[in-house]
Amino acid sequence: MATEQTLDQRYQAIGAQYRDYTEHTPLNSDHDFVKAGLIWGSVEGNRTPSILLVALDKGHWSYSKEDELDLLAYELLAGVNGDEWPIFAHLQDDNNVAYYSLFGGAGTHSIDSLPPVELIREHQQLEKVPTFRWAMKTYTRLMRGLDNFHERVYQIDKDRGIGNKNDIISEVSKILFLETFRVRHDPDLTFKHEGKTLSFQDVFNYVYVAEHKDLAVDHIKAAFAEFRDHPDYVITLEDGTQEPIFVGKNKDLHLSNWKNYETLLRVFQELGQVTNNQGQVVKDVGSLRDMPADLLGRVFDVFLRAKFESKGGLGQYLTPNPVKQAMLEIAMHDIASDNEVMERLTSDQFRYCDPTCGSYGFGSVALSHLKNLISKLGGVSDSQKEQYVAELLANSFVGSDSAENMVTLARVNMALQGAPKAKIFWADSLTTKLLKPNSFDLICTNPPFGTPKFGAKEQETKQHYEAEMEQILGGFRPAELKSEYVAYYDYVKKTWQDTGDLYLDEDGCPKWPGYRTDLRNVSTGKKAVYNLFPTTSGLALGSKPDGKGNWKPVGATIDPAVLFIDRCLQLLRPGGRLLIVLPDGVLCNSGDRYVREYIMGKKDEITGQFVGGKAIVKAVLSLPADTFKLSGTGAKTSVLYLQKRHASREHPEQFLPEPQGDVFMAVADTLGYVVKNNIEDYSAGVPNDLDKIVGAYKRGE
């Protein structure tokens, strides 16, 4: 029987794995269950970035959760110069081992393995922010303050403006918006309330709230009404429509208890003196403006993910962080070696989209990875890199969602990270004209899937859903100037009606993008017979072929995931990449074979090549059955990675006959946690299989 290691022995065993890292500094901890230290080495006479080694006693594996590791790492590194903080970590207890990329632009996330000493120089040292240590300390304080506030609203200072826990997130986003607005705009800003002119700086302050109580709440609500439509946060959409950051029911502050305002403002405003990494005071009173944008965005994202309730008012579920990280890691690995896309990234032409964006979690991770790609560009000055990032923030990010609340959270999320003009809007992505075909280099998304189940008492809701779906599916018409009608579904009569000529834009294309323009009438008789003719900007799914290959309309029971596959491929530029979470049925069921053939084409029995498809299948990653358990579904899902085929230069609507190639396939049984008591429990000691899968993909295994 093996003797259990002591904490010291475990730590020594970890260090023995890194003998090429010749230097070591022990770290002090107030916890008796932790032993930690830093190691680094020397390559060609230059010191390498550091690695954090952490040995844990049994029963403390909850620190494998990224945000918990962030807090522990900060405590351990309190006495270390901020410029020398580690960029990787090795975490180990009595039964588990995990590796992490620490703190960087993409945020702390688990990885497959740590680099050997001769390769670690390829990984850049953390950005030398002179106040990095203060920023991490403030990050810790903000996270704990928001946690305490969230519980306080329900247990101590109950608020009539709060309906459910997701309402708290929405209200926090508004206060956070006001605080960042306060510190980034003219300190002399004023607003009107009941005929009086008030100073925003004076009113939006926890001291003022404590003194004036309910009156202060009225004043802050008036200030929000004044500044919520500020031009800095108004986006201009493709059709010229201008849309502010707060719309619909989010246009007002609903928080009503003055004690909650005081508590929340203390969290954001009591940040103490700003010190540099040597401990010297550089500013007497710190503010959120002194926080790096990446770190401030991470505060909001971690708080949102931790407190969001999928079964509450928003009715959605945020994609687990390990899934988002894995999808973007794979995408960025390929983009980094794609010269054409990298040229667009450095010429302000790169465009990213999530057409079912939720809180824009995918976009937030994509932003971090893209900034990291820019930081590694060779032969480019720091000032030029800063310009590339500024252009990325100003122009590259697009998204939409059919849930109004989620759009607001997404806008605030990106505003905190320096992209207040990100074109994120409220719309049905399947039908909106604001998303243009052949526009995006990368789409990462987790669309709604599965047909809703309606009970006997929900017939009205069922009819409404079916009516909406029929309108989406109503585009089963050829895109030809000679067309004499527009389809309109009368969901009372349950019939299609002709309502006049087909509405076309100046280019001769249907104004409504839902038309299945890849289906053409090949009949010479009176009865129309539709066949498939794939184009780079067309659609066809929402209809399906019969046994003779003739395409016909489908009903409202179609899985919307199928429609989103087609829509996303339409929106991608030729050569663009799509990573999408799908129910396994779409990838496996015999009834959905036509979808798979639509994507990759049919196999030619003579040549062995796939002919007629719109995309090359790059990878399929099977996810655990409990990936979306918190949303109340045990549906088995996978990540499908597609690259839209390139187009002919002479005929840009036609695809080039590119070979399919091998498909990378892998199965993840666990994501680093188990769902227990309606939370993601990281203490269970299960691995994140996606780390090894991503590592294998990058190595071409």
* DSSP bridge pairs for 620: 640, 665
Same domain, yes or no: 535 and 466: yes
Same domain, yes or no: 197 and 308: yes
Q: How many domains are there within the chain?
A: 3
310: exposed, middle or buried (Cβ count in 10 Å: 0-12, 13-18, 19+): middle
Chain segment 520-573, per-residue pLDDT in tens: 778 888 777 888 989 999 888 988 999 898 988 787 788 999 999 999 999 999
Query: Residue 627 falls within a domain, yes or no?
Result: no
- Tell me which of 517 and 615 has the higher pLDDT: 615
Same domain, yes or no: 147 and 270: yes
The pLDDT of residue 514:
52
Same domain, yes or no: 156 and 270: yes
Cα-Cα-Cα-Cα dihedral sign, residues 281, 287, 289, 292: positive
Whether 679 has a pLDDT exceeding 80, the answer reads no
Query: Residue 281 falls within a domain, yes or no?
Result: yes
Same domain, yes or no: 164 and 69: no
The pLDDT of residue 499:
46
The pLDDT of residue 476:
45
- Tell me which of 352 and 556 has the higher pLDDT: 352
Task: Tell me the pLDDT of the chain averaged across its residues.
Answer: 86
Q: How confident is the model at residue 519 (pLDDT cuts 50, 70, 90)?
A: confident
Query: What strands, in cross-sheet order, belong to the sheet with 637-644?
Result: 423-426, 397-401, 352-354, 440-445, 572-583, 637-644, 615-622, 664-667
Same domain, yes or no: 144 and 80: no
The pLDDT of residue 270:
94
Query: Residue 669 falls within a domain, yes or no?
Result: no
Q: How confident is the model at residue 622 (pLDDT cuts 50, 70, 90)?
A: very high
Largest CA distance in the chain: 85
Across 104-113, 296-305, 349-358, 667-676, the highest mean pLDDT is recorded for 349-358
Q: Which of 77, 110, 128 is the last residue of a domain?
A: 128
Same domain, yes or no: 141 and 36: no
Same domain, yes or no: 33 and 139: no
Same domain, yes or no: 199 and 275: yes
Domain that holds residue 495: 452-558
Whether 30 has a pLDDT exceeding 80, the answer reads yes
Same domain, yes or no: 96 and 141: no
Query: Residue 681 falls within a domain, yes or no?
Result: no
Same domain, yes or no: 117 and 133: no
Query: Mean of the pLDDT values across residues 400-406?
Result: 89
The pLDDT of residue 481:
40
Q: Which of 128, 146, 167 is the last residue of a domain?
A: 128
The pLDDT of residue 169:
86
- Tell me which of 305 and 300 has the higher pLDDT: 300
- pTM comes to 0.89
Same domain, yes or no: 226 and 84: no
Query: Mean of the pLDDT values across residues 1-13?
Result: 81
Query: Residue 204 falls within a domain, yes or no?
Result: yes
Instruction: Give me the percent of the chain exceeding a pLDDT of 70.
Output: 89
Pick from 351, 350, 341, 392: nearest CA to 368: 392
Residues 532 and 545: beta-carbon distance below 8 Å: yes
Q: Which of 259, 291, 315 is the last residue of a domain?
A: 315
Whether 311 has a pLDDT exceeding 60, the answer reads no
CA atoms within 13 A on the CB side of 303: 30
DSSP string, 546-607: -TTS-EEE--TTS-HHHHHHHHHHHHEEEEEEEEEEEEHHHHH-GGGHHHHHHHHEEEPTTT
Whether 89 has a pLDDT exceeding 90, the answer reads yes
Query: Residue 214 falls within a domain, yes or no?
Result: yes
Query: Residue 664 falls within a domain, yes or no?
Result: no
